Amino acid sequence: MNLLADLQSVWDLLTSPLFIVLYIAAVVLLMVAIVVSVMINEYRFSSFVRKIDSRAEKEKEEKEQPGCRFEMLKKIDEERMSAKPASFSDNITLEEFCDMFRNFAAGKLHLFYDIDIIREFVAGLAVSRIIILQGMSGTGKTSLAFAFGEFIGNPSTVIPVQPMWKERSDLLGYYNEFTKRFNETLLLQKMYEADGRQDMFITILDEMNIARVEYYFAEFLSLLEIPNSRSRNLDVVSDHWDTDPKNIKNGRVHLPDNMWFLGTANNDDSTFAISDKVYDRAMVINIDTKSEPFAAPSFRTVPVSARKFAELAKRAEEEHAVSADTLEKLKKTDNFLAENYHISFGNRIMKQILQYVPVYVACGGTELDALDDILAKKVLRKLATQNMTYRKAELETLCDTFNEYFGADRMKSCIETIKRVARNG
């Protein structure tokens, strides 16, 4: 009886509403605990997987970016940190600069040039970042550009142009997908080194017209037309790496304002003709004969900063501006050439004249000599692009016009250019 009573009591307890509620609550709590446990484990597993994926992605990125892809430019950054500030000559005039350069070339390097060539060279540097040194082989074109680098204490960089060059990557280099490195050319290194420096940097494009200049140098020609030098940037890569050199911004390198390109050109059957697009933007120096040796009284290097050189050129424009009389003669000459030969100065050439003539005068020359030189090279050379076979009589009239406007035998280079065109047709 007692056992049955105990069993009945247990049954009554199990079937009581309170017990059922507690049972259901316990089951619910257990299920909640199981669900929470599963969610926690799933979260932990997901985190673990994400860590593995993240690590794998990082390893993949590290594998794709093995160090710095611009090793030489990175070294330039490191060298800059320990470089000493350069010192420059400040108290000098353009005339002294030309005389000292001529004496330095003769005394130090045994290279002899007429003072007129030196004046044309220095005045050309003041007008354009592109200089074309043309003439017969062996007359000292490359040597002149090389000597100037030695004179200013920053050796010129010689870039031998190759016949197969067709695009700017031939000058700047390219990214190698296999090695994950950028093939850094000497020019790219010098551009990067010049950026942020005060020195004048001279780059010699040796035998520049052995390939088509307007192909491989096209982007440089366009960038140098931009007035704001800080906007002259070249794309070298399409993306950014954290290990890239500090002055490679968004895959672009800056074309600095303190860099000049001096191209030597031989005019023979083995080379291409230089297009008007290049000639119009460049200053031209003809070196056709060798000068007589002379004894230099003294010589030394004269380091001049790009800013100082620009200041000297600016001062020359202010102190030796083209006279009103010469401007009037230029206007008459322009009208005559436009009416009879369909040749006009154009805004670019007129701007170059207004810069070139004052600097040439500041270098120790005369206004008419400077005008004679630049008109022959920048304007009258365009006569050679026309068929003058049946117009030789008109060319004689053109010679008479120059003698009338500027004085007999005063514009010798212009007259010689006209006669050469008449001879060659």
Tokens of 189: 């290194």
Tokens of 119: 């004046």
Query: What pLDDT, on a 0 to 100 scale, did the predictor assign at position 137?
Result: 82
Tokens of 130: 């592109």
Coil/strand/helix, residue 165 = coil
Coil/strand/helix, residue 253 = strand
Query: What pLDDT, on a 0 to 100 scale, did the predictor assign at position 395?
Result: 86
Q: Are 294 and 335 in contact (CB under 8 A)?
A: no
Coil/strand/helix, residue 204 = strand
Beta bridge partners of 131: 262, 283
- For 54, 69, 198, 251, 410, the CA distances from 74, given in Å and listed in that order, are 29, 9, 20, 14, 55
Cα within 13 Å of Cα(146), Cβ side: 13
| DSSP H helices in 227-275 | none
Query: What pLDDT, on a 0 to 100 scale, did the predictor assign at position 62?
Result: 47
Q: What ranges do the domains of the chain cover? A: 71-286, 320-424
DSSP code of 199?
B
Tens-digit pLDDT string for the chain (425 aa): 566 666 666 566 656 776 676 667 776 777 777 777 767 777 776 666 566 666 656 555 545 555 789 999 999 999 988 878 777 888 899 999 999 999 999 999 999 999 999 999 999 999 999 999 998 888 889 999 999 999 999 999 999 999 999 998 999 999 999 899 999 999 999 999 999 899 999 999 999 999 999 999 999 999 999 999 899 999 999 898 999 999 998 999 999 999 999 999 987 777 888 999 999 999 999 998 888 999 998 899 999 999 999 999 999 999 999 999 999 999 999 999 999 888 888 899 999 999 999 999 999 999 999 999 999 999 998 887 776 665 677 888 899 999 999 999 899 999 999 988 888 76
- pTM to 2 decimal places: 0.83
The residue written with tokens 């003539």 in the block is: 357
Residue 187 has phi, psi (to 5 degrees) of -65, -45
Give 68-121 as a DSSP string.
Answer: -S-HHHHHHHHHHHHPPPP----S--HHHHHHHHHHHHHHHH-----HHHHHHH
Q: Which fold has domain 71-286?
A: Rossmann fold (3.40.50)
Tokens of 325: 């009389």
Give 37-79 as a DSSP string.
Answer: HHHHHHHHHHHHHHHHHHHHHHHHHHHHS-S-S-HHHHHHHHH
- For 92, 162, 224, 303, 343, the CA distances from 97, given in Å and listed in that order, are 7, 34, 26, 10, 35
Query: What pLDDT, on a 0 to 100 scale, did the predictor assign at position 345?
Result: 86
